[in-house]
Structures are given as structure tokens and as C-alpha cells.
Chain A
């Protein structure tokens, strides 16, 4: 959120305050340069203590329902501080529901908002970037179901296609438009005479107001132009009669009466969205920018401070447009050079996202691609896969389909988001391209990179994953890759899934050695696996401490929205199940599983572990039917993964356990065979023996024999009794 400037406009603040209490929505609709953002920032800063607000500034990329709402929900998360999990489920739904987000995710969000105990203001600035119909639909839905305590503020350069007429008629909307935002005489006098000490007489002020129509941006530019003028009256007269576009006219004046040094500085740095001393030095290739910026700020010239320390600034809206156009028309050949200088400095200061944006603006796609392939892992491991996805989208298709390093990054992004098949296709393509040598992120070769992904996600089946992981490590001889820890994890998990627990443990421990606190995702999954190992071996205290460490990582790094964070509750639930804390185990496991169920394309292994543990818990709590349901879910997953390590045996064992039934006197009896179970289910229906036989494709005599066997094993003598008994025991 931007810091407010100095001119306060109390006549505009009052309606805002009232609206936030009595209306659903405030619409601030006026073209650029009317001070919409400034007004909101001022108001909210004044109210900060008493009125929590979520602020979202949109840009072109937010014209997509998923991105738009992700942005909004993440801002809300920062406000709903008492509830750490706020919006976590909704965000996961966002990634999967796609088209169906409106039907599934929005109602969820509304419900969560309804639970927030305090009032909240949601500000969406620059709504004009939203043009997609589905986005507007989602906002309309949101408005129609808005909980009482929430007030929405939309600030836009044009009226959004929402049912404004209806909202007005119902008195649900407060509007502030250009007419209200235009400067009044008092406000103009305040700015020009009090703040900028220009000493303009009332007649001249009137002329100025008339010519500019009160447009704040123009008045501000006029003030800048008059700073160094002796005869302000003459100046105002001269442009009174002019037909020129006022920003153009005044902008020219402003630029013309600047010192050469200042002019060059402003023009060159106009390419930056945010300015700070050293960055500007790099771009203009001279020193002293920091001082210059401070001077500007103190004299209320050109720049708006973005923080309290006076380190970062931005230019006034239309002023920066003016500068940029002047730069492009006067020095077009300089533009890519300046962007490149910015990109280099930003990379050095680890603002990789901005560095990549500037590289793209310089149309230096090679460099941009290099930056992406060099730094993608740091973002992914911190759960910011979306950022990497945005980078990839800003690169030309030629590059992203032919550069093996970029293909690998794309494969990571796909697989992490649950699109494993697409990922595998990208890997195959990467393998087919002729390349040699290490990749920018330190991976020793494309082959090693491909093996690493396959080794980590295990989508090819357990045995092939073990092979892939071993191959990755064998290739990584110099251990140069930032992904070495990941390779150990990959090997560890595939060993665990093959049943080799102690070998697995060594790998996880190695992975943790190599992983710092800046790789929370990798720590999380490694620690979770170690917890599983400890649980298997009966070291429950250790298992608990490890699982809770994993959960703490999720909270500390805000990873609730990352699907892989579901590892933590699954590991914890698994331990709790073994310890016999059945109720807590069930909730925890179901929590982790619900996340994974929404993204069916994710790796199946943690899901299977969770399902098997959940089945045990449900059965132990007496819900054999439920346990059977859970195992059936597991079996469906296994159908897609023939190479499934320890799971087929574990699943079979549990299924058998559920079929074992006790006689009434408590002693264990023969199990019902699978066929007998099928028949028993059908006995519960109204169907005759021959109908049952047809269903099962066997002869009626076979069914009769099975029925006799069922009666014997259950200790009953009629169909009715058999069905009743079966229900009672939870067999069906």
C-alpha cells in the first residue's frame, strides 16, 4: 500500500467513513490523476488502528479469476491474523477447481469471512485492469453474499460492468467520482500556496482551476512548472488560451526548466516502477541519486515516498507516463540499455522477480531465460511456484520450448501443481534435445535434472523412482547443484516406499544436512518422512517431535496453500494413530488428505500413506464400513500405479483384517472370501438368487453354496438375519 502524500482532503474522507459502516461497497471511479489511490491510502492510514483492511493493487496479470482471487485472498490472510488457516483451503481449491471456482471456492470464502469477528475493509485498487466476464461475475457474486462486517472498496479508472444501477437504487453503494475528486478552490489554494509556497492570487487560481477543470494531476504539474518562475500570472495566462493537452503542455514546461542533470535523471529512471538511490545510480551510471531523491521528496517534487525510512519512492502517476514517453521519443535507443542496467542491479540485490521483468522489457530474452533458470529453485522451495509460472509466461514460446533448462523448470512447475503428465512430456522433450554441460542452477546436466524430478515425485512407480534417484546422485559428482539435497530426499523417499527404512533414513538425514532454513519445503517433507520412519520403528516421542516440527514449518513460512505441505498433517496423523489418539489422528489425517484429494494429479505416495493410516483409525473406532471405504479409495489409486513398492502388501493386509469377523462369543472365525462378501452385499438388496447369479456371472448353484457358507460363518440361518448381522458387525 502506498504512503499518503501531504495534502489531506477532509471533505472526501467523511463519506468514506460513513460508507464503510452503512454501505456494502464504495466505488471510486475517475480517470488517472485524480488522486484515488492517495485518498484511500490517507483514509486507511488514519483509520489503521480501528479498521483492519486488506489492500490489493491490481495489474494486467490479474485479469483472470484465479489470479485475481488469489491476490485478494492472500491480502485478506494478512488481516485475519487470529486465524492462521484463513483461506488456505480456498486457495488450494483455486488451483484445482479452475472453471468451477465460482461454485466451489467463493462460497467457501464467504463462509470463512462470515466467521471473522471484526470488521474488515477490502480495497481493490486499479480495478480497470479487470475485463474478463468471469472475473466480474465473481465480484458480483461476492457482493451479493457479502457478510455484514465486510466492506468492499473498488477504485477504478472506469465504471466496472457491475450492476451499479441496482446497487445505487438499493442504497448499497457509495460513489466518489471525478466531480467530487476534482480540486476545490480551497484545496488548490492549500496545495499551491501553503504546501508549495507559490503565492498565487485568487483570480489566477480561478483561471488555473478552470483550465485544468480541477484535475489534480494537472494542478500538480502546473505547480511544478511555476516553481522557478517570476511571473506566475503571465504563465497562467499563457496556457489559459492554449489548446494543448495539458499534461503535454505543462510537462514540457516542467522538463524545460529543469537542470540538465535533473532532467536526465528523471528521464532515465522513468523506466523504474520503484526507485531507490543505488538502483538509480546503476541506471543513470552516476552517483548521488540517493541524495537527489531525498531532496525531491523534501521539496514535494516529482516523487512519492513508499516507506517510512525514505529509501524507496515512485513517480507521480501521469508524471511517470510523461517522462517515459519523452524518453522513448527522444532517446529510443537508450531504453533497452537502461532496462538492462536495472536488471543487472536488481539481480545483484536479489530482487530476481524485478530483474527478470526488466530483462524482458529490454527484450533481452536470453538473459531473462538465464535468470529464470538460475533462480527458480529458491522461489519454488519457498512455495512461490506461481511467480515462476509468471516468469515463464513472459518469455517467448520459442525459448521455452527449445531451451532444456527452461523445459526442466516448466516440468517442475507442472508437476508441483499436480499436472504430472504434462511434466513428464516436458521431460521427454528436454531429454531429446542435444545439450552438454551444467545448467545455470548448478545441476550437472540435463540428464541429472531429469533424473532428479523423476526421483523426487515418483510418478513413474516406486522401483523406477529408486533408479532415477540413484542415477541423479551418481551424475551429481561434484555436488554443485542447489538440488543435491533434493536428490537425497528423492532417493530416501523411494527407498522408504520400497520398504528399506534404515537406508531411507540415512538419505533424509543427509538431505537435512544440506538444506538450510531457506528451503522450508524440502525440510518439511524430509522431516515428515523421518517422522514416518520413527513411527514405524515405534519411537513415538521422536516421531511426534519431528511431525510437529514439520507442522511448525508450514505455519512459520506460510505454506498452508502449498499442496505439498499436506505432508505435515499426514505424518502427524500417522503417529497419533499408532499412539492410539484416534480422534485427533482422524481429524489430522482427514485435513491432510482433503488437500491432496483436490489435486488428483499429485504424487500418490503420501496420499496412500495417509489413507492406510486413516483406515486403521476408522476401523479401530468401530467404523468398519468407513475403513473399507478408505481402503477402496486407496485401491483405486493403486490401480494406476502397478509399481507401488510396499503398498500392495500393506493394503492387502488391511483389507484382510477387515474381513475377519468374530463369532458372537468373540472368537475369531474364518474370513469371508471376497466373493462371499460380494454375495453378502447383494443379499441386502431385494434380488433373487438367480438375479444375483446373473450379476456375478456365475451359476445360481454357486451362489447358493456361497450363501450357505456365509450363514455358517456368521452363525445365522436366514437371509434376513444374515443381512442384519452383517450391518451390526459393520461388514456391509
Chain B
């Protein structure tokens, strides 16, 4: 049971943007597996880009990649956009 008297989760800061590359190209159908991420395919690779709230979220994405038998090529955090507000 969730305990504590939280008023409700309030995400105050922007998460980090990650760029995850997997081998092989995914169609829109499997884009649904990675909601909140943008999907781009190029030269036998799929690039997932999107905001990741925290480490747990990131590992969830990586687990899903593993769960689909996809081969992970790289994971990178992207520098923050200097024009975004805190």
C-alpha cells in the first residue's frame, strides 16, 4: 500500500533526454512499445530519442528492449537544451 501523505507526484524538473540505438529497424507497430519516445530508423538501426524521468524509467526501457530480443547498440544522455526553462 502506498503510504505517506503525498499530495501527488509533482515532476518539477525536466528529465534527461536519452538517445538509445538498437540494431534493426522497428516499424510503427513496435513504436507503441516505447511510448513517449521518438523513433527514427536509419541504415539498419533504430534510434529512440526521448525524455527519461529517472534511472528506473531508463532501465524499464532497456528491459523492454531486452524483452523484445532487440540488440542494444548504444545508450547516450544528451546535453540539455540551453534554452529550456528549469
A positions within 8 Å CB-CB of B? 31-33, 128, 131, 157-158, 215, 217-218, 243-248, 251-252, 318, 321-322, 325-326, 328-330, 389, 392-393, 397, 400, 410
Contact = CB atoms under 8 A, between A and B. Distances in A.
Given A329-B29, A393-B1, A400-B1, A157 B24 contact: no
Given A31-B66, A321-B68, A245 B30 contact: yes
B2 interface: yes
Contact of B2 (A131, A246, A389, A397): A397
Contacts of B33: 321, 325
Contacts of A128: 63, 66
Interface of B: 1-2, 22, 24-33, 43-44, 46, 59, 63, 66-70
B66 to A, nearest CB: 6
A318 B68 contact: yes
A330 B22 CA distance: 24
A245 B25 contact: yes
Contacts of B26: 244-245, 248
Nearest to B26: A245
Given A321-B68, A329-B32, A330-B29, 8 more contacts: A31-B66, A158-B66, A218-B69, A243-B25, A247-B68, A248-B29, A321-B33, A321-B67
Contacts of A410: 1
Given A243-B44, A245-B24, A318 B29 contact: no
Contacts of A31: 66-67, 69
14 contacts: A218-B69, A243-B24, A243-B44, A248-B24, A248-B30, A251-B29, A321-B33, A322-B29, A325-B30, A325-B33, A329-B28, A329-B31, A330-B29, A392-B1
B24 A244 contact: yes
A45 B5 CA distance: 50
Nearest to A330: B29
A217 B30 CA distance: 16
Most chain A CB within a 10 A radius of its CB, from B46, B67, B68, B69: B69
B4 to A, nearest CB: 9
Interface of A is mostly: helix
Contacts of B31: 329
Contacts of A329: 28-29, 31-32
Interface of B is mostly: mixed
B11 to A, nearest CB: 17
A252 B27 contact: yes
A247 B32 contact: no
B27 A247 contact: no
Contacts of B59: 131
B67 A246 contact: no
Which 7 pairs of residues, A with B, have the shortest CB-CB distance?
A: A243-B44, A245-B24, A329-B32, A328-B32, A31-B69, A325-B32, A244-B25
A216 to B, nearest CB: 10
A674 to B, nearest CB: 44
Contacts of B43: 243
A215 B1 CA distance: 41
Contacts of A318: 68-69
Nearest to B4: A397
Nearest to B59: A131
Nearest to B33: A325
Given A252-B27, A325-B33, A400-B1, A245 B67 contact: no
Contacts of A389: 1
A236 B28 CA distance: 23
Contacts of A247: 30, 68-69
Contacts of B67: 31-32, 157, 321
A393 B25 CA distance: 38
A248 B68 CA distance: 10
Contact of A32 (B25, B28, B29, B66): B66
A318 to B, nearest CB: 6
Contacts of A322: 29
A244 B1 contact: no
A587 B59 CA distance: 51
Nearest to A178: B69
Most chain A CB within a 10 A radius of its CB, from B26, B28, B67, B70: B67
A218 B30 CA distance: 16
Contacts of B29: 248, 251-252, 322, 325-326, 329-330
A375 to B, nearest CB: 19
A218 B70 CA distance: 12
A328 B69 CA distance: 20
A63 B29 CA distance: 30
A325 B63 CA distance: 16
B2 to A, nearest CB: 5
Nearest to B43: A243
A445 to B, nearest CB: 25
A513 B29 CA distance: 59
Contacts of A215: 69
A695 B70 CA distance: 75
Nearest to A396: B2
